[in-house]
Amino acid sequence: MKKKSKIQYECLNCGKKLSKNNNICPFCGSKKRKTYKTLIGNLGFFSRLNGIARNSKNFILYKFKKLTKIAAESKNIAKELLFFDRTNKNYTKKIHRVEELTKGVWKVVHDTLDKYISKRRNL
């Protein structure tokens, strides 16, 4: 995923935004300034957690992926869970759930449960 960043400068004394060349704050005369990076454009993941659980024959019974990110369209903070349950011999269960933080409240924006016919299983 693409990551773009922009360096910004701020006066440490009065908090006003400064330009790159403002070594002395034009508002208060302070020489102290804060430099920080702001990510712009497409953001990467904040966090990602993967997990798998295998049985004694090394077969993957459970697989999950948990992400916290910025939703591409709404720009809200989003939590995503992808969970595969392969404990049944005939089908694999897939749970996909996305929640977005909207005005301080977590809202489910996507919640699906799919079943796929298992292929080549010899548990």
Binding residues (CB under 5 A) for Zn ion: these are 11, 13-14, 25, 27-28, 30
**Which of 14, 52 has the CB closer to Zn ion?**
14
Nearer to Zn ion, 28 or 39 (CB): 28
C-beta of 34: minimal distance to Zn ion in Å? 11
Q: How far is the CB of 13 from Zn ion (least distance, A)?
A: 5
Own/partner pairs for 40-44, CB < 8 Å, 24+ apart? 40/4, 40/5, 40/6, 41/2, 41/3, 41/4, 42/1, 42/2, 42/3, 42/4, 42/72, 43/1, 43/3, 43/69, 43/70, 44/1, 44/3, 44/69
Give least dist CB 7 to Zn ion, A.
18
Q: Could you tell me the smallest distance in angstroms from the CB atom of residue 108 to Zn ion?
A: 45
* 25 vs 71 by CB, closer to Zn ion: 25
Q: Is the Cβ of residue 10 or residue 85 nearer to Zn ion in the bound state?
A: 10
